[in-house]
């Protein structure tokens, strides 16, 4: 299954009764395994979580800490860019050159990378550590 098909599939399980905006994300770990996540909203709005965060949690829970490819899909007029927090979360586990495909249910796609999504990212080196 392609990464974007995996994202499309998991999007069906999104829990978005407040925004009605369902998002699916899929990541490929270094092992080749695919991890999926969808947005999970909450009546206390800030407690909701993004699809990307769910997919990252699934990857880490499975014992992997490096992602090599990302796909995100939503039913939006244009491919939806990950929020600022998700960009930082993706950057934690993906190198600058990791490809990110943003897609719409309608079939539009935008190709970018973890580095392009978060230039000037905060890294461990900024704390004077390796």
Q: What residues form DSSP beta bridges with 100? A: 70, 112
Is 52 among the residues known to form the active site? yes
3-class state of residue 58 by DSSP: helix
Q: Which two tokens stand for residue 96?
A: 């600058």
**Continuous segment of H or E residues that includes residue 5:** helix 3-11
Window 63 to 122, contacts with ligand THU (CB under 6 A)? 72, 80, 82-83, 86
Cα separation, 90 vs 100, in Å, equals 10
Q: Which one among 6, 10, 36, 39 touches ligand THU, defined by CB under 6 A? A: 39
Report the residue count for the chain.
130
Pick the catalytic residue: 52, 64, 66, 123? 52
At its nearest, how many Å lie between ligand THU and the CB of residue 23?
4
Binding site for ligand THU (CB under 6 A): 16, 19, 21, 23, 39, 41, 48, 50-52, 72, 80, 82-83, 86
Q: Just list the catalytic residues.
A: 52
């Amino acid at each position: 299954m392609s990464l974007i098909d995996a994202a499309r599939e998991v999007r069906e399980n999104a829990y978005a009764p407040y925004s009605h905006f369902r998002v699916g994300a899929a990541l490929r770990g270094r092992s080749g395994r695919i991890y999926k996540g969808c947005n999970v909203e909450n009546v206390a709005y800030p407690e909701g979580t993004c699809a990307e965060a769910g997919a990252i949690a699934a990857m880490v829970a499975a014992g992997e800490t490096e992602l090599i490819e990302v796909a995100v899909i939503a039913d939006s007029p244009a491919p939806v860019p990950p929020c600022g927090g998700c960009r930082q979360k993706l950057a934690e586990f993906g190198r600058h050159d990791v490809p990110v495909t943003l897609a719409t249910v309608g079939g539009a796609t935008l190709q970018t990378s973890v580095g392009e999504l978060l230039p000037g990212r905060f890294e461990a080196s900024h704390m004077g550590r390796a």
